[in-house]
Chain A
Amino acid sequence: MFWGMRITWITTLVILVALAFLPFLTTDQFVLSAMITVLIFALFGASWDLSYGVAGLLNLGPGVSFGVGGFALTYLAKSHYPPVVAVFFAAVIAASTGILIWIPSIRMSGAYLGIVTLAILLLFSDIALIWTGEEGVPIGIHYFNATLQQSYYYALILSGVGMFALYALSGTRFGLQARAMKDDEAAAKSISINIPIYKLASLIVSSFFLGLAGAYYTLYISNVNYTIFSINTNFLGVVISILGGSGTILGSIIGSLIVQLPSQYLVSYGSYSIILYGATMILVMLFLRGGILQGVEYLASKLNRNKSK
């Protein structure tokens, strides 16, 4: 295993273990609530990273799967499925949106695919608004009887397990071949990589985990409406992934801490939060194109080299 990869998962593990102790260090409801959102959007970012950072598919509408997961959860909840079952099956339903994104990806790539997938997101937003109005669909308040601390740990487990599952997948032969496909589709075909199938598999898996994040997010806030398909929510996951380190999967936890945590505190300052993460994104793109995790890996490898001298 390369030194860089080792740093990646060690850093993530350290962060998640540290976060496991957070409820013992504070009972501040705002902090715990903010961290739940950080964890959910870390999974969002990691899910998107599989399809873009690993497989090279510029899906600019990951909010579709996230939102479908949310809406599916409400209908499963109303059908009295237990929360765990409802979250899982909502993710399965969200995975089917991967097929919708896959269809344009057969013939398109890059910016063209990005535009089409963004259009699909806007379509879903409009359909949700027409179908459920501005109020959306509430889940009954007694459906998910969990304390804030319990909700926090559920988010930590879901996010941690989800991110590591995606990371493990990216390290398998499938992940390697998806990276090859991202690098050069023509060369990938010459070594028998079935491009349409790999694109489909990447998008379905990515959509599943996006749906998982969206379903748990909806479960936690007990309501879903058309704003789950909003451009802000959609691009938040993208920014988190790129800031953390595209292709690293696990970098999303760092990206989410950097982006989502301050913006939770700046919510009352409205657009200042957007200015903050826009500025952060620009700075990272200028000085650390591989994301924050690349910076961590670079520092660690320098330390390692100095140590061995």
Chain B
Amino acid sequence: MTKRFGNLVAVDDCSLELQENAVIYGLIGPNGSGKTTLFNLITGYLAPDSGKIYYGNTDITKKSAARISSLGLVRTFQLSRVFSHLTVEQNLEVARRKGIPRSKINEIISQFGLSNVRNVLAGGLSYGQKKLVDLGRALMMDPQLLLLDEPTAGVEPSVINTMIGQIRYARSIGKSVLVIEHNMNVLMSLAEKIFVLNGGKKIVEGSPSEISANQQVIDAYLGRR
């Protein structure tokens, strides 16, 4: 796919293939490398200038964001986007997909340590709690592919541990996850395959050990051309 904003090529003929189910993929790159733009293209928030996006055998290039999420491709955002005027419970309820029992809400609230803020308006939560609500809300959609945009950014270690646990659990029940992360400790412990972007292009893909030893990746993060 390619996406331009005026003269800026945010995503430059970038191609990703998530071939397997139940895998945690990582997406890394320096700031401005096009990671979030790629997420926005995949999830229907932006339309590519060229290229196609397939989810299974379905061409989702021109589908709306709401339609794409209903197909099982669910995302979170770089900055928390809880529904501030709804409670924690309502934030989860509003995302509950048909067929998912209400008991799932209790499960997530309990697992995420949100029991004591269940009836608190989400706008009044700490940032870490908001990020947990974001993740919990995405899980209420029963996604097949979860796209997490910097889930651990700006949160405390206990919240990070909860998130890692939930991501691993999602994988264990057959879901795939694509995570944008700058926290390399988190990513290297989670991801089984990593894509690296720089300047809108995919420069390399491979296992965490391959990526961490790759000179192109090191140069990209150190700003060398």
* A residues in contact (CB < 8 Å) with B: 2, 173, 176-177, 179-180, 182-184, 186-195
In the complex, A33→B64 CA distance in Å?
51
Other-chain contact of B66, A176, A183, A189 (Cβ < 8 Å): A189
Specify which chain A residues have a CB less than 8 angstroms from the CB of B45 in the assembled complex.
186, 189
Question: Which 4 A-B pairs give the minimum distances between C-beta atoms?
Answer: A187-B81, A189-B65, A192-B70, A191-B95
Residues A180 and B70 in contact, CB atoms below 8 Å apart? no
In the complex, residue of chain B having the shortest beta-carbon distance to the beta carbon of A178: B94
Residues B85 and A179 in contact, CB atoms below 8 Å apart? yes
Q: Is B127 an interface residue (CB 8 A)?
A: no
Do A176 and B86 contact each other (CB < 8 Å), given the known contacts A184-B81, A186-B77, A187-B81?
yes
Chain A interface main SS type:
helix
Number of A-B pairs, beta carbon distance below 8 Å: 65
Other-chain contact of B141, A2, A188, A192, A195 (Cβ < 8 Å): A192
Specify which chain A residues have a CB less than 8 angstroms from the CB of B69 in the assembled complex.
189-192
Do A183 and B85 contact each other (CB < 8 Å), given the known contacts A191-B137, A195-B66?
yes
Specify which chain B residues have a CB less than 8 angstroms from the CB of A186 in the assembled complex.
45, 65, 77, 81
Residues A187 and B77 in contact, CB atoms below 8 Å apart? yes
Q: Is B74 an interface residue (CB 8 A)?
A: yes
* B residues in contact (CB < 8 Å) with A: 43-45, 64-67, 69-70, 74-77, 81-86, 90, 93-95, 97, 119, 137-138, 140-141
Residues A176 and B93 in contact, CB atoms below 8 Å apart? yes
Specify which chain B residues have a CB less than 8 angstroms from the CB of A187 in the assembled complex.
77, 81-83
Nearest CB of B to A5, in Å = 11
In the complex, residue of chain A having the shortest beta-carbon distance to the beta carbon of B134: A187
Nearest CB of B to A178, in Å = 10
In the complex, A187→B83 CA distance in Å?
8
Specify which chain B residues have a CB less than 8 angstroms from the CB of A183 in the assembled complex.
83-86
**A179-B85, A183-B85, A194-B67 are known contacts; what are 20 more A-B pairs with Cβ within 8 Å?**
A2-B119, A176-B86, A177-B94, A180-B83, A186-B65, A186-B77, A187-B77, A189-B45, A189-B64, A189-B65, A190-B43, A190-B65, A190-B74, A190-B75, A190-B81, A191-B74, A191-B95, A191-B140, A192-B141, A194-B66
Specify which chain A residues have a CB less than 8 angstroms from the CB of B70 in the assembled complex.
192
Specify which chain B residues have a CB less than 8 angstroms from the CB of A191 in the assembled complex.
69, 74, 94-95, 137, 140-141
Specify which chain B residues have a CB less than 8 angstroms from the CB of A2 in the assembled complex.
119
Name 7 interchain pairs, CB-CB below 8 A, sorted by A: A184-B83, A186-B77, A187-B81, A191-B74, A192-B97, A192-B141, A193-B66
